[in-house]
Amino acid sequence: MRCNFCEDYQDRGPNMKKAGPILQVTGLSKNFGTLRALSNISFELAGGKILGLVGDNGAGRSTLLRILSGGLQPSGGQIYLEGKATRFKSPADAMKKGIAITYQFSQLVDIAKVWENFFMGRELTKRIGPLAFLDVQKMKHLAAGAIAKYGHTFDVEREARELSGGQRRLLAISRAIQANPKIFLMDEPTHGLSKRVINEIFDLLRKTKEASDTSIIITAQWYEQVCDFVDEVIVLRRGEVVGHFDAESADGGQVFKLAMGLTP
């Protein structure tokens, strides 16, 4: 199965501002005790491109994204951000350097309100004299607006625990987009969402990307989930890169076989 929906952002050669890749990973590995979750991972991500990461359960996709977002430290290898060797010391550090992530399991505070979840970690304030106070009205307003963009409104005064699984995911994705990252990491965002919402998210991401040159890494269980969306795809199997294709040359069947270890 092939995807040919991507021409419009494949052909953006003249628009390319930076020559080098925004993110470069070389020889990255991660051990959990004796378990080798990632070994010798190398790839490049150009500015404004979308990279898919496909693999079986336990292939190491979440581990890779968590290293790139400061949640885990690699056991070996190097990460270069805009050409400079970088280490993401913590999620806060990675955020400061322009990385945003949506986790496989949405990281929400269940007993906090939607708008509080939306702005947690980068709350808006207004100054009164020397003191900074939360700008609650503005945060509520912006959160409601951001969520409404997906044609899926829900009350931002509700607590996160009252949301459906898909709404939780939407909340997590929209808050990450709102952070306006240089690199946006998405761990299985399509899981549990309806086709309509997925398309809305992808549309919005494309627009965001056009406007601000955001690069995206997105993981999926099957290539077909993201084939309309990505520029390139990397196939992971047991912590190793077993395939790396352009969207043009990628073939769903072949990616599946590689991911499952069915090809010699």
Ligand X SMILES: Nc1ncnc2c1ncn2[C@@H]1O[C@H](COP(=O)(O)OP(=O)(O)OP(=O)(O)O)[C@@H](O)[C@H]1O
We find the least distance from the C-beta atom of residue 62 to Mg ion, in angstroms, to be 3
Question: Among ligand X, other proteins, Mg ion, none, what binds residue 60 when CB lies within 5 to 8 Å by partner kind?
Answer: ligand X
Distance CA 41, CA 30 (A): 10
Per-residue interface string for the shown chain with ligand X, residues 18-57, x marking contact by CB under 6 A: --------------x--x-x-----------------x-x
Spell out the residues 6+ positions from residue 211 whose beta carbon is closer than 8 angstroms to its own: none
For residue 96, how many C-alpha atoms fall within 13 Å in the half-sphere facing its CB? 9
Give alpha helix (H) positions in 46-183.
61-68, 91-96, 114-119, 136-148, 165-178
Per-residue interface string for the shown chain with ligand X, residues 80-119, x marking contact by CB under 6 A: ------------------------x---------------
Distance CA 106, CA 50 (A): 21
Length of the chain, in residues: 264
Residue 73 engages other proteins in binding (rule: CB under 8 A): no
The binder of other proteins chosen from 2, 32, 110, 203 (CB under 8 A): 110
Nearer to ligand X by C-beta: 63 or 102? Answer: 63
Nearer to other proteins by C-beta: 19 or 131? Answer: 131
Distance CA 73, CA 75 (A): 7
- Rounded to 5 degrees, φ, ψ at 151 are 60, 30
Residue 121 engages other proteins in binding (rule: CB under 8 A): yes
The binder of other proteins chosen from 10, 42, 78, 107 (CB under 8 A): 107
Give me the residues that bind other proteins (CB under 8 A), please: 71, 90-92, 94-96, 101, 103, 107-112, 116, 120-123, 125, 131-134
